Amino acid sequence: MLLARSLSFAIFIAACTSSVVKGDGDGECRLWLGPSHLGTDNDPEFGIFAGVDFAPDEIIPDIEVAIPLVDWTEQFNRDTALKNMIVEFVESQVWTGDFAGAKWEGDQNTIVAIPGIGNLANYHSGYHNVDWLQSAALLRKPLDLFESGVAHPARGAITPYHNLTMKATEHIPAGMELFANFGETWDNNQTMEDSFQDKLTRWDYQHADQILDAIIAFMDQYDKDLTPDLQENILDFMLEKILGTAVGKRAKVIRSLIPDNPKKLKAVKEAGGTFLYRNNDLVKSQKWLKKHAMCMDNLKVGPSTIPEAGRGAFTTRKIAKGDVVVPSPMVHIANEELFNMYEIIEKEDAKTGDVTLDIDKSNFLQQQLLINYCFGHRESNILLLPIGSYVSMINHAPAGKANAYITWSRHKHVTNDHGLHDLSIEQLAERNKVGIVMVVQALRDIEVGEEIFIDYGKEWEAAWKEHMAQWNKDYEQDKTWQLTADDMKMQYKEKPFEADLTDGINPYPPSVATTCFLRTEDLPDGRPRRNPDGLEIFLYAEDLSHDEITGADMYVCDVISRTDKLTDGDLYNYTVLAKISDDDIVQVENVPHGSITFVDQPYQGDIHNTGGFRHYISLRDGDFPQAWRNIRE
């Protein structure tokens, strides 16, 4: 049986917020890639370090794309131990689709690879200082590369998910490693795994900081009246007697974070709280950064100078011939075949009647888009996904025109594990850590603001030539292109959403659906709580500002009516039916125009177009390890 390829319900996206990004270029390197505090000498990990101070809410200047892997983590891709290992490793390196607004790309589960800060900022169970500004990606402006309804050779070959942005959640001093908020599910998982130990969590530090603040406020208030002895007695009483009752079984742990000498309380606060006081070695000096880390802030994104290419990477600093443009750890994906997409079918077990998902290998769809962002080699099944900042934005130029190339890192601390070159790709698949590190290196002196190009190799070039020939032939026959969610977003930016929709009729192109960002509150007393169809009614919560929306607030929804045009503020208010889960539909009133948007129906977006270009980028033959060549020509 084929799975339904349509959201059983018509679907939405929305507007903009402003944030300041620190100027680039001349200044100090703002982000460094170096050995993380979480690694050890024998078992290094990479992390990102701030090169300058970041204020709370300041944008971290590595704004990335998200590349979806659609319905990829299902059982059918894990049917051997080796494949399972590969999928698990990749899964540990990516985010769930909802951070980017990509959760409806497929029928099952879409995950997204987010290079740069999305991959390299580590998890710390005790602390985080950066988090997604989810609205930036969820409310992103469509790429202006494509003309609405018109074919283009790059349609489906590049990801539509961009503007993935992290911001500082607190003051980050220069030299501090960046730790990202990985979300509650991850936190809970980590806490449960470690619950047998007295391991400190983020909440312990938060609790301790709150208690510290309260004690300092109390002491300050009675400062004149308290002798040092009395202060000590009071602090002792608070920590011994009150803390235990207030924070229960974590008391011992939290107690250990607060100094018992009253004179030291303020020093803890001045250090930035209990976490930074305890972990003062986390802040590195500029000297340490220059020696141990590599600047990952020499590039920025802009419209490519090649018209068909979309985005490109441009230098923010002068780079001398032979110097590193940007370092790039690589996630190894040791089986290219896992990127083949087939029709997904349901399979019933004859004995038990259990239904599982399978793929119909006679029905090949195309390859996952992620392959376009990976490096590979014609004699190998291995793919390497670059996770260096903006490396995936670097375009191709033929040999002779390219101003940079990619090769193994020989940096002393951000180093490639050359031992991995001797492993077979099966052995490499068993490595569940990133150990391969490459660098993009300048072939000549490069000025500020130049676009970086590398040679993607002759296989890629041949594939692109073939794609263009076919594309030109098709274009002569038919220039039109099915309307996408991005087209609809532009059309309905200022124009009211359709409201005359009757049961099951989608007033928009069948390839798109509307979605709403919703957090709700109860109706005021005195109004019926259910509509005539028995669906529960809620009000849109007024305090949901656009900065705060998250992918988890995004629901498939249908507009059923709208108010008259408002005199001020947003365009219109709407009443919508929102699909909270498969069997829970609710009515929400007062939804503003800017909280409604479009998504492509599953398997309907440009990236599912079967004629879309697909090819990996070739590593230079001389660089490619012999042991990894498992396909001999």
Q: Indicate whether 540 belongs to the interface with ligand NAG (CB under 6 A).
A: yes
Site for ligand NAG in 190-229 (CB under 6 A): 192-193
Mode of pairing for the β-strands spanning 31-35 and 617-618 = unpaired
User: What are the phi and psi torsion angles at 224 (to 5°)?
Assistant: -65, -35
CB of 66 to ligand NAG, least distance (A): 13
Using CB under 6 A, which of the segments 16-24, 115-123, 343-351, 378-386 binds ligand NAG? 16-24
- Residue 565's SS3 state is coil
Least separation in angstroms between residue 567's CB and ligand NAG is: 9
Options 457, 592, 602, 612; binder of ligand NAG; rule CB under 6 A: 592
Whether the Cβ atoms of residue 251 and residue 204 lie closer than 8 Å to each other: no
DSSP 517-529: E--EEPPPTTS-S
DSSP bridge pairs for 514: 598
Query: Considering beta carbons, is residue 278 or 489 the nearer one to ligand NAG?
Result: 489
User: What is the separation of C-alpha 58 from the centre of its chain, rounded to a whole number of angstroms?
Assistant: 18
362 forms part of the interface with ligand NAG (CB under 6 A):
no
Minimum distance, C-beta of residue 335 to ligand NAG, in the bound complex (Å): 20
- Are the CB atoms for 342 and 389 separated by under 8 Å? no
Nearer to ligand NAG, 15 or 216 (CB): 15
Asked whether position 163 contacts ligand NAG by CB under 6 A, the answer is yes
Distance, CA of 600 to CA of 147 (rounded, Å) = 17
Angle at 428 between CA 427 and CA 429, to 5 degrees: 90
Q: Considering only CA atoms, which of 24, 392, 32 is closest in space to residue 178?
A: 32
Q: How far apart are CA 235 and CA 36, in angstroms?
A: 36
Neighbours of 169 (CB within 10 A): 16
**Among 129, 135, 484, 514, contact with ligand NAG (rule: CB under 6 A):** 135
Q: Across-strand partners of 617?
A: 375
How far apart are CB 145 and ligand NAG at their closest, in Å? 12
How many residues bind ligand NAG (CB under 6 A)? The answer is 20
Q: Is 320 within 8 Å of 445 (Cβ atoms)?
A: yes
The interface region with ligand NAG, picked from 11-19, 396-404, 482-490, 505-513 by CB under 6 A, is 11-19
**571 Cβ contact list (under 8 Å, min separation 6):** 494, 496, 565, 592, 593, 594
Q: Does the protein bind ligand NAG through residue 590 (CB under 6 A)?
A: yes
Q: Does 522 bind ligand NAG (CB under 6 A)?
A: no
Whole-number Å distance between alpha carbons of 116 and 118: 5
Closest approach of Cβ 24 to ligand NAG, in Å?
16
Shortest spacing between CB 52 and ligand NAG, in angstroms: 20
> According to the binding rule CB under 6 A, does residue 165 interact with ligand NAG?
yes
Q: Least CB distance from residue 64 to ligand NAG, whole Å?
A: 11
Beta-carbon contacts of residue 401 (< 8 Å; ≥ 6 apart): 453
Q: How far apart are the first and last CA of the chain?
A: 39
Distances (CA, A) of 170 to 127, 213, 264, 304, 326: 11, 16, 22, 34, 27
- Nearest distance from C-beta of residue 350 to ligand NAG, angstroms: 30
- 563 sits near ligand NAG (criterion: CB under 6 A): yes
604 binding ligand NAG? (CB under 6 A): no
Question: Which stretch in 189-197, 202-210, 230-238, 388-396 sits in contact with ligand NAG by CB under 6 A?
Answer: 189-197
Q: Is 542 in the site for ligand NAG (CB under 6 A)?
A: yes
Interface residue with ligand NAG among 2, 28, 79, 141 (CB under 6 A) is 141
Q: 140 or 377, CB closer to ligand NAG?
A: 140
Q: Which stretch binds ligand NAG (CB under 6 A): 133-141, 210-218, 310-318, 477-485?
A: 133-141
The correct pick among 11, 33, 60, 136 for binding ligand NAG (CB under 6 A) is: 136
Compare residues 173 and 496 and give the one whose CB is closer to ligand NAG.
496
Query: Is 165 or 279 the residue whose CB approaches ligand NAG more closely?
Result: 165
Work out whether 407 is an interface residue with ligand NAG (CB under 6 A): no
User: Is residue 207 helix, strand or coil?
Assistant: helix
- Beta carbon nearer to ligand NAG, 18 or 42: 18
Please, which residue, 379 or 521, has the CB nearer to ligand NAG?
521
The strand pairing partners of 577, in sequence order, are 558, 587
Secondary structure in 3-state letters for 177-195: ECEECCCHHHHHHHHHHCC
- Least CB distance to ligand NAG at residue 166 (A): 11
Q: Does 21 bind ligand NAG (CB under 6 A)?
A: no
Question: Is residue 601 a contact point for ligand NAG (CB under 6 A)?
Answer: no
Phi, psi of 120 (to 5 degrees): -90, -20
Give the burial string for 584-598 (b: 16+ CB within 10 Å, else e).
ebbbbbbbbbbbbbb
In the complex, the smallest distance separating the C-beta of residue 197 from ligand NAG, rounded to whole angstroms, is 14
Contact letters (x/-) for ligand NAG, 445-474, by CB under 6 A? Answer: ------------------------------
**Dist. CA 384–CA 382, nearest whole Å:** 7
Distance CA 70, CA 608 (A): 10
Query: What are the tokens at 452?
Result: 């970086």
Q: In angstroms, what is the minimal distance from the CB of 126 to ligand NAG?
A: 18
User: Which parts of this chain interact with ligand NAG (CB under 6 A)?
Assistant: 16-19, 135-136, 140-141, 163, 165, 189, 192-193, 540, 542, 563, 566, 573, 590, 592
